[in-house]
């Protein structure tokens, strides 16, 4: 298959997202992750914009070896020379220079003539070429540029040594049919275009950045400029994960492949989200929390029978552990029955139906029904679990100058057993004391606490998950004392463990 070049500009255009500013260390860490992801080119930044930006680009050029490292420069002598100073230690450096070519920007932003823009283009591409062989040129606002002038600028940029011609939809103005025609016309009307790779850089102002990028590829573009999570100026850029997975999923249409290790997509997405503080929306394609989550009963039933009925790619292919069946009021019997089995219960048909009705009643009252809720429905309504262990007494000592210590008395049948322990905090100390009494070797794998009422006397609900012999058991309890509810939830999980080992 022919190769599509992935040019990532998360560290440059992505940083132009309002409120986003990377430190040098964050840029370097992200660049290393982008290299692991397998991008062909990293646009590391705009070196002349600040001393910190220069240092970031220089550091990446020195330390990140595999991808081409690119620096942005206006079509100005000082910008281009500065970019080269930042990039010169890179194993594979690229200078990316640009100038506005649309009528509105030439008049109001540059205050120049067409002839002047053409002259600057020729001189500055030639200057960049004197530093390195790999030169990218962008006629900014290309989609609003008069086509005859666009062809002329591109022709002369290539004559002066540009090896990549990038066509930016700078303000997200183009629609796919129009943008595809622009790429097709460039191929037909620029006589030396075969000497350069056609690239596209699409913004998302109308929500069409990915669509425009893909239609450009279908019309001959072989480099796509993208960002992780689609971040960038204003409404952002085409999202790397969307472009790559579209090409991967529809190889029958594109007949192209990239170097991207797609199993790194989710990790990279979360890393960028953490560094930028920009939360990935739940319904974001490919990497959103809901991208592989199913709640509709019809969808869940089809998915359980055959995954491809409602999933066109696997979660594992993008680095997500597995699909999720979200149990709520729209879920059906099939999904509920499957979850009950996964939780370790083997209910006869009549009891399963009773549990399903209870589940539906609960689902009408809350957005999502969790595993602990299902276990409570089954165990509270259908199964009587004896309390092998019951909390009788709890006393904790804690403070910033005191070693947290807990004393507990737990009843096992009619016998009261007392133990004490120290820990990292009052909860840890209390659970350690419980472990001394039960002598059950288990590990705490999840601890969650939330207030279920308001004000200072709020009830705290604690949900706990423990692992024992590769099986997971959950427990929950409520109290106005969070340490007490923690111990009770822990004992609840242990009691369930004992019941299931004896009866199931």
Q: Which residue has the higher pLDDT, 377 or 391?
A: 391
pLDDT at residue 444, as a whole number = 93
What is the mean predicted confidence (pLDDT) over 398-422? 94
* Burial class of residue 186, CB neighbours in 10 A (0-12, 13-18, 19+): buried
Question: Rounded CA gap, 452 and 446, in Å?
Answer: 19
Q: pLDDT averaged over the chain?
A: 92
Average pLDDT over residues 360-374: 77
Which of 78-92, 309-323, 473-487 holds the top average pLDDT?
A: 78-92
Confidence check: pLDDT of 459 > 90: no
- Name the residue among 294, 222, 231 with its Cα closest to residue 268: 231
From the list 140, 222, 204, 215, the residue with the least C-alpha distance to 180 is 215
* Residue 336 confidence (pLDDT) above 80: yes
Task: Spell out the alpha helix ranges (H) of 98-191.
Answer: 103-105, 114-131, 147-159, 176-189
The rounded distance, in Å, linking the Cα atoms of 5 and 7 is 6
Enter the DSSP assignment of 11. T
* pLDDT of res. 120: 98
pLDDT at 273: 94
State pLDDT tens for residues 10-51. Answer: 999 999 998 898 999 999 999 999 999 999 999 999 999 999
Residues in the chain, total? 504
Distance in angstroms (rounded) separating the CA atoms of residues 445 and 76: 57
Q: Supply the pLDDT for residue 398.
A: 93
Q: Residues 437, 419: contact at Cβ < 8 Å?
A: yes
What's the pLDDT at 286? 96
Over residues 57-77, the pLDDT tens digits come to 999 999 999 999 999 999 999
Higher-pLDDT residue of 132, 329: 132
| pLDDT in the model for residue 234 | 95
Calpha distance 326→294 (Å, rounded):
6
- Whether the CB-CB separation of 209 and 172 falls below 8 Å is answered with yes
Percent of the chain with pLDDT over 70: 96
Q: Which of these, 73, 74, 66, 69, lies nearest to 58 by C-alpha position?
A: 69
**Structure-block tokens of residue 332:** 């059906």
> With bands split at pLDDT 50, 70 and 90, how would you rate the model's confidence at 364?
confident
What number of CA atoms fall less than 13 Å from residue 249's CA on the CB side? Answer: 16
User: Quick one: pLDDT band at residue 293, thresholds 50, 70, 90?
Assistant: confident
Q: What does the pLDDT read at residue 472?
A: 84
Q: How far apart are CA 441 and CA 344, in angstroms?
A: 20
The pLDDT of residue 441 is above 80: yes
pLDDT tier for residue 55 given thresholds of 50, 70 and 90: very high
**Confidence class of residue 456 from pLDDT cuts 50, 70 and 90?**
low
272/64 Cα distance (integer angstroms): 18
Identify whether the C-beta of residue 286 lies closer than 8 Å to the C-beta of residue 265. Answer: yes
State residue 478's pLDDT score.
80
**What domains can you pick out in the chain, each with its CATH number?**
2-276 (3.20.20.70), 293-381 (no CATH), 389-503 (3.30.160.270)
- What tokens appear for 56 in the block? 């970031």
So what's the pLDDT on residue 369?
A: 78
Predicted confidence band at 384 (pLDDT cuts at 50, 70, 90)?
Answer: low
How do residues 147-205 score in pLDDT, each as one tens digit? 999 999 999 999 999 999 999 999 999 999 999 999 999 999 999 999 999 999 999 99
CB burial string 404-423: b at 16+ within 10 A, e below: bbbbbbbeeeeeeeebebeb
pLDDT level of residue 310 (50, 70, 90 thresholds): confident
> What band does 471 get if pLDDT is binned at 50, 70 and 90?
confident
If pLDDT is split at 50, 70 and 90, which confidence band does 332 have? confident
Tokens of 442: 């288990």
CA angle 139, 140, 146 (to 5 degrees): 70
pLDDT > 60? residue 383: no
Is residue 262 scored above 70 in pLDDT?
Answer: yes
List the beta bridge partners of residue 43. 70
């Amino acid at each position: 298959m022919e190769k599509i070049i992935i040019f990532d500009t998360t560290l440059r255009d992505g940083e132009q997202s309002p409120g986003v500013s990377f430190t040098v260390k964050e840029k370097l860490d992200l660049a290393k992750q982008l290299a692991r992801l397998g991008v062909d080119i990293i646009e590391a930044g705009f070196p002349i914009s600040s001393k910190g930006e220069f240092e970031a680009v220089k550091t990446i050029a020195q330390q990140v070896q595999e991808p081409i490292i690119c620096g942005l420069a206006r079509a100005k002598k000082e910008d281009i020379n500065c970019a080269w100073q930042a990039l010169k230690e890179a194993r594979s450096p690229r200078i990316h220079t640009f100038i506005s070519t649309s009528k509105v920007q030439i008049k109001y932003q540059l205050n120049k003539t067409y002839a002047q823009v053409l002259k600057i283009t020729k001189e500055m591409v030639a200057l960049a070429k004197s530093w390195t062989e790999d030169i990218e040129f962008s006629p900014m606002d290309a989609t609003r540029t008069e086509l005859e002038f666009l062809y002329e600028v591109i022709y002369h940029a290539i004559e002066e040594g540009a090896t990549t011609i990038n066509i930016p939809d700078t303000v997200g103005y183009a629609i796919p049919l129009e943008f595809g025609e622009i790429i097709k016309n460039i191929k037909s009307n620029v006589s030396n275009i075969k000497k350069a790779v056609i690239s596209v850089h699409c913004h998302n102002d109308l929500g069409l950045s990915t669509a425009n990028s893909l239609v450009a590829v279908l019309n001959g573009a072989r480099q796509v400029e993208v960002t992780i999570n689609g971040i960038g100026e204003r409404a952002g850029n085409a999202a790397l994960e969307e472009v790559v997975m579209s090409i991967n999923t529809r190889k029958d249409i594109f007949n192209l492949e990239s170097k991207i290790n797609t199993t790194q997509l989710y990790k990279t997405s979360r890393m960028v989200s953490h560094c930028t503080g920009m939360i990935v929306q739940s319904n974001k394609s490919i990497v959103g929390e809901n991208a592989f989550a199913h709640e509709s009963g019809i969808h869940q039933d089809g998915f359980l029978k055959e995954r491809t009925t409602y999933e066109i790619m696997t979660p594992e292919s993008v680095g997500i552990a597995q699909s999720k069946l979200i149990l709520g009021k729209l879920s059906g019997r099939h999904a509920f029955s499957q979850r009950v089995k996964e939780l370790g219960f083997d209910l006869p048909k009549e009891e399963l139906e009773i549990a399903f009705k209870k589940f539906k009643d609960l689902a009408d009252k809350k957005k999502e029904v969790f595993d602990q809720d299902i276990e409570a429905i089954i165990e509270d309504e259908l199964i009587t679990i004896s309390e092998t262990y019951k909390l009788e007494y709890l006393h904790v000592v804690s403070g910033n100058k005191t070693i947290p210590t807990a004393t507990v008395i737990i009843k096992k049948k009619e016998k009261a057993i007392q133990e004490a322990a120290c820990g990292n905090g009052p909860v840890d100390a209390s659970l350690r004391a419980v472990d001394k009494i039960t002598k059950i070797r288990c590990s705490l794998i999840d601890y969650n606490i939330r207030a279920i009422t308001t004000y200072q006397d709020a009830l705290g609900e604690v949900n706990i998950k423990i692992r024992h012999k590769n099986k997971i058991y959950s427990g929950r309890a409520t109290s106005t004392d969070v340490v007490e509810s923690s111990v009770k939830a822990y004992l609840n999980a242990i009691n369930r463990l004992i019941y299931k080992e004896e009866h199931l």
